[in-house]
Chain A
Amino acid sequence: MASEVNTDFLQDKKLDSIAADILRPVGITQGFVVWMGFLGVSLMGCIYAYYIQWDKGLIVTGLRDYISWGMYIANFVFFVATSLVGMLISSVLGLIGFKWVKPIARIAEIIAVAFAAVAGLVIVSDMGRPERLANVILHGRIQSPIIWDVTVVTTYLTISILLYFLPLIPDLAISKGRMNHTPKWLQNMYEVLSVKWQHTPEQYRLLLKAIRILLILIIPTAFAIHTVTSWLFAVTLRPGWDSTIFGPYFLAGAFVAGSAAVVIVMYFIRSNYKLDKYLTNHHFDMMGKLLVLVSIVYLYFNINEYLVPSYKMKTAEAIHLHDLFVGEYALMFWSVQLLGLVLPIILLLFSFFRKPFSMLVISIVVLIAAWFKRFLIVVPTQDHPFLPMQYVPKAWMVYQPTIIETAITVGTLLLVIIIITILVKFFPVIPIWEMAEEQHELDHKSQK
């Protein structure tokens, strides 16, 4: 990101057409109402499921004494993982100076905000007595990674929200006069949120400085959030979790899931909003390359994580690995590794598959596999505690997610989609001022 902005682009005619393109879909449309109606009604069903759980407790789930972390925690890890992409794209790639991330950065930030915000709720859904939530803080021990996790998730969410909001401010000001097709309350909201933005050089200087601080600050925070999440497992002495590379392993996996999520959202925005001019084939091509890169890194960590223990085959570890490789979880394990990791890597090496639609299909497969991957990390380990399971009913020794549990998990996903839809529908998804500035510079250079 440049440290100074040439505000000449404000006088450029091109700004009008760019703003018109990007602002056209903003506001309440029929499609939006139908889509939100669908999401809302589905969410009601899931909230009812949660009401049952609230009333009866976790007995309505498949969780019992031995396998006490199931779908919810797997889902939590998945959410945290997916949200990390905000840091990867706007911060790491942006600071290095890749120009192509500009129109995608805000999409990545939206994904970060939506997933990080709901991740906290997912944890609450895993609590049998959610009304005692405050006890986590009141009686928390600073030695517990759970406290570190709570701290760092909150911090990451706050920074992500700011990183979404700050670059939006000039856009809100630009949009003000061009929003006649939208409801009055939305225009008022723009007025408030644009914090008296006048495009003065002084304001740009302050804004760019603040953004720069956040872009740097979010890197250690994002590393911390997912490393700490991985420590929730890695500090527990159990086969499958007792690993020193869990931090980087989780981070690498997070970038895979996040990149896939960005591609999916990009695809729907491009096709629904007719924004092919801004989200071009080139952007999909670059995202494809990014996905290959992070997938290869993740594959490398997977090989480390499974090959080393399976070479030694320590007794407890062997039982766990047997379950994954040829036992109960073999089908899920190999589908995730082959369909969700190896195959996408091979396909995306060819530019033929880095086209928007095939990227969409591949990304959906990758994202689904990413969810099941978290399930494979969380659940099978608990099937084999070091001390044998005794004196409990047979049903308590295996984990079978219930319908209620599944509905609540689906509900959290719906919530994420609702947040993304609202942000995408009520605010410009592509940074208008950055696009206009870039265009202005390009035109200027060619004139000279």
Chain B
Amino acid sequence: MKRYFILLIIVLFSMQLSAQEWVVAPAEAALKSPFAFTDSTRKAGEVIYVANCKSCHGDPGKNNVIQLVPIPPDAASVKMQANTDGALHSKLIQGRGAMPSFKNTLSSTDLWRVISFMRGFNPKYVQEVAVPTIGSASAQNVSIKLNWNKTSGQVEALLTSLKENIAQPVAGAEVKLFAKRFFGNLPIDEARKSDALGKVSFNFPKDLPGDSIGNVQLVVKLTDEVAFGEASAEANLTVGVPTNRPALTDQRSMWGVLEKSPVWLIFAYVLAVLTAWGFIAYVVLQIRAIYRAGSKE
């Protein structure tokens, strides 16, 4: 009986631990940055860190993190630095709980840049750079063009790369399509591979709200940055539903300025004030009448 009890405690205790630990699959943990971390990657990483991470993780080494549950570790902390580069990369892509996923917000290259910035706070860190995979169908300097195919109702991307100054189609490269939102990017359709002509066709929803004339800012990105390098393109295409929402402060509202206050409120307020003070004025007149009546006697 006693043994069971101890066992139970051990099991519960380890469950507790595993609930807190954030484990990454070994293959992902083994991932390495395709480029070496230098001062310039750290600089670029700092900009990304300040814009996307600082609000929660604070300044590295200062321990001024936000008080969430669980607590976001300080970037310079042992806990953070104990991760392999691949583990950090994977956690940034996955996210967990309050920690957002940056899968659709930051490119893989940007993620490595942030990691290079965080590694700058660990003097013991020695980087291992990924060995480029030999024989992969890699093409460098890929450029992408976005188009709207009215007849098929699809958004098409054309992938080319320059070989001896001639544009060649890039086949078999995976790309993703996004629409830009106020924060981050909205994924559209699935990741698709380019065909032999370097073409990718994305199904596009018919009800995506655009701006006043239906324009939507689209972003397309290569996913396999190791094989093809970093490439993305943006285009403003008239593919959305024209949306003409007046600004929130245009109409009369409870949150507007005085001139934009709701009519019913002005009416109710003025009516209440006039009623109350009307009666008060009437009472004051009665006092005057009492005085007059007394003076006559």
Residues in A lying within 8 Å of B, measured CB to CB: 140-143, 148, 151, 155, 158-159, 162, 166, 169, 195-198, 200, 202-203, 206-207, 209-210, 213-214, 217, 221, 224, 388, 390-391
- Give the shortest distance, in Å, between B136 (CB) and chain A (any CB): 46
The CA-CA distance from A351 to B246 in the complex, in Å, is: 66
- Chain A residues closer than 8 Å to B258, beta-carbon distance: 140-143
Q: When the two chains form their complex, are residues A200 and B283 in contact, meaning their CB atoms are under 8 A apart?
A: no
B273, B276, B284, B289: the one contacting A217 at CB < 8 Å is B276
- Give the shortest distance, in Å, between B283 (CB) and chain A (any CB): 5
Given A143-B255, A206-B286, A390-B64, 6 additional A-B pairs, CB 8 A: A142-B269, A169-B290, A196-B293, A203-B290, A203-B293, A203-B294
Q: When the two chains form their complex, are residues A143 and B287 in contact, meaning their CB atoms are under 8 A apart?
A: no
Q: Which residue of A lies closest to B282 (CB)?
A: A213
The CA-CA distance from A206 to B289 in the complex, in Å, is: 8
Q: When the two chains form their complex, are residues B290 and A207 in contact, meaning their CB atoms are under 8 A apart?
A: yes
Of A155, A196, A207, most B-chain CB atoms within 10 Å: A196
Q: When the two chains form their complex, are residues A162 and B280 in contact, meaning their CB atoms are under 8 A apart?
A: yes
Supply 17 A–B pairs (Cβ within 8 Å), ascending by A. Answer: A143-B262, A151-B269, A166-B283, A196-B290, A196-B297, A197-B294, A198-B297, A200-B293, A202-B293, A206-B286, A206-B293, A207-B290, A213-B282, A214-B279, A388-B67, A390-B64, A391-B64
The CA-CA distance from A136 to B97 in the complex, in Å, is: 44
Q: When the two chains form their complex, are residues B279 and A206 in contact, meaning their CB atoms are under 8 A apart?
A: no
- Chain A residues closer than 8 Å to B284, beta-carbon distance: 162
B256, B261, B290: the one contacting A197 at CB < 8 Å is B290
Chain B window 251-268, contacts with chain A (Cβ cutoff 8 Å), 1 for yes, 0 for no: 001111110011001100
Q: When the two chains form their complex, are residues B261 and A196 in contact, meaning their CB atoms are under 8 A apart?
A: no
Q: When the two chains form their complex, are residues B256 and A143 in contact, meaning their CB atoms are under 8 A apart?
A: yes
The CA-CA distance from A200 to B289 in the complex, in Å, is: 12
Q: Is B295 in contact with chain A by the CB < 8 A criterion?
A: yes
The CA-CA distance from A195 to B290 in the complex, in Å, is: 7
B66, B291, B293: the one contacting A388 at CB < 8 Å is B66
The CA-CA distance from A357 to B262 in the complex, in Å, is: 54
- Chain A residues closer than 8 Å to B286, beta-carbon distance: 206-207, 209-210
The CA-CA distance from A390 to B66 in the complex, in Å, is: 7
The CA-CA distance from A196 to B289 in the complex, in Å, is: 10
Q: When the two chains form their complex, are residues A213 and B294 in contact, meaning their CB atoms are under 8 A apart?
A: no
Q: Knowing A143-B255, A196-B294 are in contact, say whether A213-B283 is a contact too (CB < 8 A).
A: yes
Interface of A is mostly: helix
In this complex, how many residues of chain B approach chain A with their Cβ under 8 Å: the count is: 33
- Give the shortest distance, in Å, between B245 (CB) and chain A (any CB): 22
Q: When the two chains form their complex, are residues B265 and A206 in contact, meaning their CB atoms are under 8 A apart?
A: no
The CA-CA distance from A388 to B276 in the complex, in Å, is: 44
The CA-CA distance from A200 to B68 in the complex, in Å, is: 76
Q: When the two chains form their complex, are residues B277 and A198 in contact, meaning their CB atoms are under 8 A apart?
A: no
- Chain A residues closer than 8 Å to B295, beta-carbon distance: 196
Of B265, B272, B279, B294, most A-chain CB atoms within 10 Å: B294
The CA-CA distance from A391 to B277 in the complex, in Å, is: 49
B253, B265, B276: the one contacting A221 at CB < 8 Å is B276
Q: Which residue of A lies closest to B284 (CB)?
A: A162
- Chain B residues closer than 8 Å to A158, beta-carbon distance: 280
The CA-CA distance from A151 to B297 in the complex, in Å, is: 40
Q: Knowing A141-B257, A196-B294, A391-B64 are in contact, say whether A210-B287 is a contact too (CB < 8 A).
A: yes
B64, B273, B280, B289: the one contacting A159 at CB < 8 Å is B280
Of A143, A158, A221, most B-chain CB atoms within 10 Å: A143
The CA-CA distance from A388 to B82 in the complex, in Å, is: 28
The CA-CA distance from A217 to B278 in the complex, in Å, is: 11
Q: When the two chains form their complex, are residues B256 and A214 in contact, meaning their CB atoms are under 8 A apart?
A: no
- Chain B residues closer than 8 Å to A224, beta-carbon distance: 272
The CA-CA distance from A324 to B277 in the complex, in Å, is: 42
- Chain B residues closer than 8 Å to A195, beta-carbon distance: 287, 290-291, 294
- Give the shortest distance, in Å, between B109 (CB) and chain A (any CB): 30
- Give the shortest distance, in Å, between A383 (CB) and chain B (any CB): 13
Q: When the two chains form their complex, are residues A142 and B266 in contact, meaning their CB atoms are under 8 A apart?
A: yes
B253, B261, B279, B287: the one contacting A142 at CB < 8 Å is B261
- Chain A residues closer than 8 Å to B273, beta-carbon distance: 151, 155
The CA-CA distance from A140 to B266 in the complex, in Å, is: 13
- Chain B residues closer than 8 Å to A388, beta-carbon distance: 66-68
- Chain B residues closer than 8 Å to A214, beta-carbon distance: 279, 283
- Give the shortest distance, in Å, between B212 (CB) and chain A (any CB): 29
- Chain B residues closer than 8 Å to A196, beta-carbon distance: 290-291, 293-295, 297
Q: Which residue of B lies closest to A196 (CB)?
A: B294
Q: When the two chains form their complex, are residues A200 and B279 in contact, meaning their CB atoms are under 8 A apart?
A: no
- Give the shortest distance, in Å, between A266 (CB) and chain B (any CB): 27
Q: Which residue of B lies closest to A391 (CB)?
A: B64
- Chain A residues closer than 8 Å to B272, beta-carbon distance: 224
- Give the shortest distance, in Å, between B257 (CB) and chain A (any CB): 7
The CA-CA distance from A159 to B281 in the complex, in Å, is: 11
The CA-CA distance from A148 to B261 in the complex, in Å, is: 14
The CA-CA distance from A162 to B256 in the complex, in Å, is: 37
Q: Knowing A141-B261, A195-B291 are in contact, say whether A200-B280 is a contact too (CB < 8 A).
A: no
Q: Which residue of B lies closest to A202 (CB)?
A: B293
